[in-house]
Chains A and B, each alone.
Chain A
Amino acid sequence: MCAAPLTTDSAPASLGPRTGALARRPVSGHRLREAALPYLLIGPTVLVIGVVMGYPMLNLVALSLQHYGLAELLAHQGTWVGLQNYQDILGDALFWQTVARTATFTAVTVAASMFLATLLALLLTRVSSPVKLLLSGGLIFVWATPVVVAIDVWQWMVDFEFGVANWLLTNLHVGSYAHHNWFENPLEGFGVITALVVWGALPFLTITLYAGLAQVPVEIVEAAECDGAGAWQVFWQVTVPIMRPLYLILFSLSTIWNFRLFDQVWIMLNARPSSGFYMLGVYSYVKSFKVDQFGLGATIAVVMVLMLMVATFVYIRGLARSGELDR
C-alpha cells in the first residue's frame, strides 16, 4: 500500500497560469488581421453587454443623481439633485438595517451552503455506487427545478393551514405548528427562506466540489494517510489547500448571487413583504416600483454594486496576483 516516498516530480501540478498561451507572434504575415482577431472575437460579447447593460448602467448612475418620481418617469425627464439621494439613503435607518440584514443573510447562507455541499461531496466519495447514483440523481432533480417552481412548493409546504411541514413538526413533537404563520416573525421567515436558498444552491456546489475532489491526486492522499494522518487532518491539510482556487470561485459566486437575492423573498411573501423582510435588492425594487422613487431605488442599487465590489475585491486582487487574469 505504502509505496516509496513520492518524488517531487509527481507533486501536484502548478496552479499557476499555463505558459505558452500568451501573445504568440503569428507565424504568417497577416499581421493586421491577426491583431484585429481578438477584438473581433470579443466584439459580439462586448456589444451585447454594452448595449443591454452598459447603457442601463450609466442610466442607473444618472438616475441616482436625479429626483425621479412617477411624473418624471412618464415625461422621461428628471430633476438633477446631485448627491441628495445618496445623502437621503445613507441617512435612512431602514437602509442600514437592510444592509445588516442582507450581509448577515449572505454570510449565513453562503457558509451553510458551502458547509453542507462539502459534506455531501465527501459523502458522495464514500457511498456505494447505487447510492451515489441515487444521490446525484436527486441533486440533478433539485437543480433542474426552476426557482419559481421551488418557491411555490416551499410556500405550499409551510402554508398556514395546510402546510405539510407544519404537520410534520407538530407530529414529531418539535412544537405546535398547526395554524402557524412562518412569516409573522421575520427571523422564522428568513429561516424558511434560508432553507430554500441553501437547498437550491446545494446541487451546483456539491457537484462542482465533488468533481474537484475527484481531481485531487490519489497519491498525495494516500501518502498522507500512510504518514498517519486521520481522515479529518487529510481533509484540512491536503485536500482543502489543493481545492483552494475552486473554493475561492464558489465562495465568490455564492456571495454575489445571495447578496442580490430577490425572487425568493418577493414571491414567498406574495409581493408584499413587510420591512422586516427587506433585502437590498427588494428595498431597491420597493423604492422604485412601490413608492415611485426611481432615483432612490437607483441609488440603492449603485450602493449595492459598490459594496459587492469591495467584498469581492480580495478575490479579484487574488486573481490578479496569481496571474489568473492574464491566462
Chain B
Amino acid sequence: MNPRHVARTAAVLALALVAVACGGNTGSSSPSGTLTVWLMNGSAPDSVVSAVNADFKAKYPNVSVKVQIQQWSDVTTKLDTAFAGSTPPDVVELGNTLVAKYAAAGALTNVGPKKSSFENSSTWLQSLTDSCTVNGKLYCVPYYAGSRAVVYRKDMFQKAGVQPPTTMDDWLQTGQKLMDANKADSSFSALYFPGKYWYAALPFIWDAGGDIAAQGGGQWKGTLNSTQSQQGLTTLSKMVGSLSRADKTGDEARQDQAFVQGHIAMLIANGWEIGVITDPKSGDPTLKDKLGVFPIPSHTSGQSAPVFLGGSDLGVAAKGKNQDLANEWVKLLTGTKFQTQMATVGQVIPNTTTLLDTNKDQPLLGTFAAAAKNSKFVPNSPNWANVESANVLPDMLVSIFTGKAPIADASTSASNQVTQILNAKS
C-alpha cells in the first residue's frame, strides 16, 4: 500500500478520534461522561443533592454524576493531592476560609467571566463573594453560609427568673444569676464556651472595635493586641471565667453533645446545631420546645455584635476535564430553587440576600438569618489558611483562659504570628 495513503488515513482517523473524544464536552450534542463532585460531610441534606442530580440528569441524560462526601478532618491533604494530580474532581466544595489559598495557587477556574450566568449573582452575600475573590478575580460561587447566635434553655431561664439579655453587660449578669440558681450542680455552665472556639470569640473582638489584622500598603499587620481587641478579649475572658465549665483547651466539636446532657443554659451555636441537639438518634428531641435563640448582644444597646460568617463555596477545578458541565451543576445548586431548599431543609443560610428571609418566621432559625446581616470575615489573604493551620487564635485563647499568659502578652504574640504568616512569601 502506498505509505502516503497509510499516513493520511492514519491522520484522518486520529483526527476523527480526537473529535469524538473532545466532542463530549462542547455541549452541542448531548454530552456524556462522568462528573465528579466533592461535597463536605454535613453540608447539604441528601434530599437536596438527589434533587439536584435529578434535575441535572434531566438536562444531560448521558452524564453520570458521582458525588463523593469528604470529611472535614485533614481535608486539606486530600485537596492538595487531588488538585496536584491530573484528574481532580470537577466540582469542589471549599470552606470559605480555604478558598483564597487554593485560588492563589492556581487550583480553581476563574468563573468571573461567567458570573452573570449564575442566578442571584448580583445579590450574593458580600462576605461569601469576598471569600471567592482573589486579586480581583472570582474563583468560586457562594454556596451557603452559617452564622452564630446564642441558643438557650427557656426552662432554665424561667426557673432562674431571667430574660434574654440585650447588652453584653446584661448578658454577664444574666449568666451570673443562672450560675447562682444552679449552685448545687457542679457541672453546670451558664454559658458553655470551649477554650479553642475562636469563631465565637471573634464577635467580642469585633464588637469592641478590634480585628484580627489590617491591610495597609500591601502588607498585613496583626491587630489582635490593639486596645480595642484587648478590651474585647477581656470581656470574653470575664464571661468564660465566671460562666463556663467547659474544657478550656477543647474545641467546639462536641458542644452539642454536652448541651444535650442538660447542664448547660446557653451555647453560642450555628443554626444547624439545633438540628443536632434535637436529633432523635444522638440528641434529645424533647428539648425542641425548650430552646430559644437570641443574637449575640453588643455592648451598645439595640445592636447585635458582628458575627463570623462561616460557610462554603463551590469551585471548579482548573485542571478538571468537564469545565462546562461543572459550571452547569454549580448553577443548579446555587440557584434559587435549591438555595431555598438549603434554607428550609438544610437549615443553613442561603447565598443570596433575596432569600435571607426564607426562614424569617421560623422561631429559631429566623434569628440566625437576621444575625447574618451583620457579619464579618477573616483577613482575605491566600495565607490565611496557614494562620488557621498554625492554630494561632485557638492557642491564644487557651493561654488566656488557662491563665498561662496575660491578655496583653498572649494577644501580642498572636498578632506577631499573624503578621508573619500573612506576609510570608508562599
Name A's B-contacting residues (CB within 8 A): 69-71, 73-76, 160-161, 179, 181, 183-184, 270-272, 274, 286, 289-292
Write the chain B residue with the least CB distance to A180: B247
User: B249: CB under 8 A from chain A?
Assistant: yes
Q: CB distance B105 to A291 under 8 Å?
A: no
CB contacts (< 8 Å) of A291 on chain B: these are: 386, 389-390
The answer to whether B177 has its CB under 8 Å from any CB of chain A is no
Determine if B84 and A76 form an interchain contact, defined as CB atoms under 8 angstroms apart: yes
* Beta-carbon contacts under 8 Å, B247-262 to A: 247-251, 253, 258
Q: Which of B102, B104, B426 has the most CB of A within 10 A?
A: B426
Asked if B180 is at the interface of the complex by the 8 Å CB criterion, the answer is no
Given A179-B245, A184-B249, A291-B390, the answer on whether A73 and B105 have CB atoms closer than 8 Å is yes
Q: Is B35 an interface residue (CB 8 A)?
A: no
Q: Are A160 and B250 in contact (CB under 8 A)?
A: yes
> Chain B contacts of A289 at CB under 8 A?
74, 76-77, 80
Cβ–Cβ < 8 Å partners of A161 in chain B: 247, 258
Check: B45 CB closer than 8 A to any chain A CB.
Answer: no
Give, as a whole number of angstroms, the nearest-CB distance from B245 to chain A.
7
A-side contacts of B248, CB under 8 Å = 181, 184
Residues of chain A lying within 8 A (CB to CB) of residue B258? 161
* Known contacts A69-B105, A69-B426: A290-B249 contact under CB 8 Å: no
- Most chain B CB atoms below 10 A, which of A70, A270, A286, A289: A70
B106 within 8 A of A: yes
What residues of A have a CB within 8 angstroms of the CB of B34 in the complex?
Answer: none
Contact among A70, A75, A183 with B426 in the assembled complex (CB-CB below 8 Å) = A70
State the CA gap A160–B246 with chains docked (Å): 9
B interface with A by C-beta (< 8 Å)? 73-74, 76-77, 80, 83-84, 101-102, 104-107, 187, 245, 247-251, 253, 258, 318-319, 386, 389-391, 394-395, 398, 402, 426
Inter-chain CA distance A272–B102, complex, in Å, is: 20
A271 and B245 contact, Cβ closer than 8 Å, known pairs A71-B106, A292-B101: no
List A contacts of B105 (CB < 8 A).
69-71, 73-74, 292
Cβ distance A290 to chain B, nearest Cβ, rounded Å? 4
Across-interface contacts of A70 in B (CB, < 8 A): 80, 101-102, 104-105, 107, 426
9 A-B pairs whose Cβ atoms sit less than 8 Å apart in the complex: A73-B84, A74-B84, A74-B318, A179-B187, A270-B253, A274-B395, A289-B76, A290-B390, A292-B426
B426 & A181 in contact (Cβ 8 Å cutoff): no
* Additional A-B contacts beyond A74-B319, A184-B249, A272-B251 (11; CB < 8 A): A69-B105, A70-B101, A70-B107, A74-B83, A75-B106, A184-B398, A272-B391, A289-B76, A290-B389, A291-B390, A292-B101
Bound complex: CA A270 to CA B187 (Å) = 25
Complex contacts, B107 vs chain A, CB 8 Å:
70, 74
* Nearest 5 Cβ contacts at the A-B interface: A290-B389, A70-B105, A71-B105, A184-B249, A289-B77
Nearest-Cβ distance from residue B196 to partner chain A, whole angstroms: 9
Residues of B within 8 A of A270 (CB): 73, 251, 253
User: Cα distance A165–B150 when bound, in Å?
Assistant: 33
Closest to B101 in A: A70
A272 CA / B195 CA spacing, docked (Å):
14
What is the CA–CA distance of A321 and B398 in the complex, to the nearest angstrom? Answer: 54
Chain A residues whose C-beta falls within 8 Å of the C-beta of B395 in the assembled complex: 274
CB distance from B140 to the nearest CB of A (A): 16
Given the complex, which residues of B lie within 8 Å of A271, measured CB to CB?
73-74
**Please, which residues of chain A bring their CB within 8 A of the CB of B398?**
184
In the complex, which of the residues A181, A290, A292 contacts B247, with contact meaning CB atoms closer than 8 Å?
A: A181
A292–B245 contact, CB under 8 A?
Answer: no
Give B241 Cβ to nearest chain A Cβ, in Å.
15
Contact A71 B426 (CB under 8 A): yes
A291 vs chain B, min Cβ distance (A): 5
CB contacts (< 8 Å) of A181 on chain B: these are 247-250
A304 and B245 alpha carbons, distance in the complex (Å)? 42
A179 to B107 CA separation, bound complex (whole angstroms): 44
Expressed in whole angstroms, the Cα–Cα distance for A289 and B73 within the complex equals 12
| Chain A min CB distance to B247 (Å) | 5
Smallest CB separation, B111 vs chain A (Å): 18
Which residues on A sit within 8 Å (CB–CB) of B391?
272, 274
B336 to chain A, nearest CB (A): 34
Whether A179 and B247, one on each chain, are in contact in the complex, defined by CB atoms closer than 8 angstroms, is yes
Known: A70-B105, A291-B389. A183 touches B249 (CB 8 A): yes
What is the CB-to-nearest-CB distance from A282 to chain B, in angstroms, rounded to a whole number? 13
Find out whether the CB atom of A184 lies under 8 angstroms from the CB atom of B402: yes
Smallest CB–CB gap between A172 and chain B, Å?
Answer: 20
What is the CA–CA distance of A179 and B263 in the complex, to the nearest angstrom? 14
Cβ-closest chain A residue relative to B421? A291
